Amino acid sequence: MGRVVLVTGVAREFASRFARALIAEPDVDRVVGVDVQPPRGDMSGVQFVRADIRNPVIAKVIAKEQVDTVVHMSVVATSAGAGGRGSVKELNVIGTMQLLAACQRAPSVEHLVVKSSTTVYGASSRDPAMFTEEMAPKKLPRSGFAKDAYEVEGYVRGFARRREDVTVTMLRAANTIGPRVDSPMAQYFRLPMIPTVLGFDARMQFLHETDMLAVLRHATLARVHGTFNVAGEGVLMLSQAVRRLGRPALPMPGFTLGTVGSLMRQAGLPGLAAEQLDFLTFGRGVDTRRSREVLGFSPAYSTAAAFEDFCRSQTRGLVAPSRIVVDGLTATAGRGASPAPIATPSGDSRG
């Protein structure tokens, strides 16, 4: 008998893609999708149950469907379209509590996969260069998605203590990026001019959207207990990312960026969330050795390649890689000019 997988938050495009990919696996018998809204488009075999994970109905769903694997994907950062920050927090934190309470009472549940984020490490000037899974944030997040994620992880750890027979896999994913991603960071990089913090250059890591799906699939099928950082190899500086995108950067003093963010929100643009401000200032790096060695997963895209793929989906900006100007210069000035030795692994380096 195959496995029965419950996926939360399937109304979101990403979770629904994951659910549809999972149903094709030979090991998986059934996939049950849960959300408050019905998902758009064809769910091709995924059983959808309209249920709110914020109330105890979810326990009945788990019991009735004899679910053995729960993939919790509804901890989200975006507040757009979900009724503002308050209701997102409610969904993230209370939803997780209810879901975990239901799982604790359900004897059929054997495996829990939680999609968390590297945001839990926060970002500050006292951070080590690379966070390993044991490290705690130097500054506890006080608001926003970072706090949600931090609290959610706390509840998951509590659940893991109480149900020792359940394999709990927590995936701390770096900022997901790709042509179809709609995360706050992707929205930030889609701005026509990119506000940055004057005098700071953040280190960033990205995870390509296909790698995100792959690692969730891998974790669901592999059943490895533990917490794992997942990120593309290598580090990209924010200034570098902006240049690769070819958009003009708009450096401004750190203390004004919050105001700018709220002005942007009022103007109908995606704003800058609290955890984003710190991230854009100090950046963050995570050590992915454990996910490569223990979980057995290496992302196909490096950070640079993932970002390159995102850039390709964007109309490149006016500033740099119109590239004709610079290339022309190189060509006229030095006939012996070798093409610039670019150390960027391209997207086809996967596999």
Partner 1 sequence: MADAEVIPLGTRGKPGRGTGSAKPSSAARRLAPGAGPATPKKRAKPKPKPVPEAPAEVEAPVTETLLEEPLTAPPSTAQAGPDAVQGAEVPRSAARTRPPGIPVGDWLGAFTHASREVFGEAWEPRLAEMLAFFRRRVTGEYAVDEFGFDREVTERFLLAALRPIADKWFRIEVRGAENIPTDGGALVVSNHSGTVPLDGLMTGVAIHDHTGRFLRPLGADLVFKMPVVSELARMGGATLACGEDAERMLSGGELVGVWPEGFKGIGKPYSERYKLQRFGRGGFVSAAMRTGVPIVPCSVVGAEEIYPLVGNVPSLARLLGVPYIPVTPLFPWLGPLGLVPLPSKWLIEFGEPIRTDSYDEGAADDPMLVFNVTDQVRETIQQTLYSLLMQRRSVFG
Q: In the complex, which residues of this chain contact partner 1 (CB under 8 A)?
A: 125-130, 132, 135, 197-201, 203, 234-237, 239-244, 246, 253-254, 282-283, 285, 304, 320-321, 323, 326-327, 329-330, 333-344
Minimum CB distance to partner 1, residue 273 (Å): 21
Minimum CB distance to partner 1, residue 32 (Å): 40
End-to-end CA distance of the chain: 31
Minimum CB distance to partner 1, residue 339 (Å): 8
Contact 205, 284 (CB under 8 A): yes
Q: How long is the chain?
A: 351
Is 152 or 241 the residue whose CB approaches partner 1 more closely?
241
Is 115 or 284 the residue whose CB approaches partner 1 more closely?
284
Is 202 or 219 the residue whose CB approaches partner 1 more closely?
202
Q: Of the candidates 11, 27, 10, 28, which has an alpha carbon nearest to the alpha carbon of residue 19?
A: 10
Contact 264, 330 (CB under 8 A): no
Distance set, CA 307 to CA 223, 254, 273, 282 (Å): 29, 25, 21, 19
Contact 156, 95 (CB under 8 A): no
Minimum CB distance to partner 1, residue 305 (Å): 12
Is 92 or 175 the residue whose CB approaches partner 1 more closely?
175
Full DSSP string of 86-109: HHHHIIIIIHHHHHHHHHHH-TT-
Minimum CB distance to partner 1, residue 208 (Å): 18
Is 87 or 132 the residue whose CB approaches partner 1 more closely?
132
Contact 197, 280 (CB under 8 A): yes
CB contact set of 86 (below 8 Å; sequence gap of 6+): none
Minimum CB distance to partner 1, residue 55 (Å): 43
Is 266 or 332 the residue whose CB approaches partner 1 more closely?
332
Contact 132, 261 (CB under 8 A): no
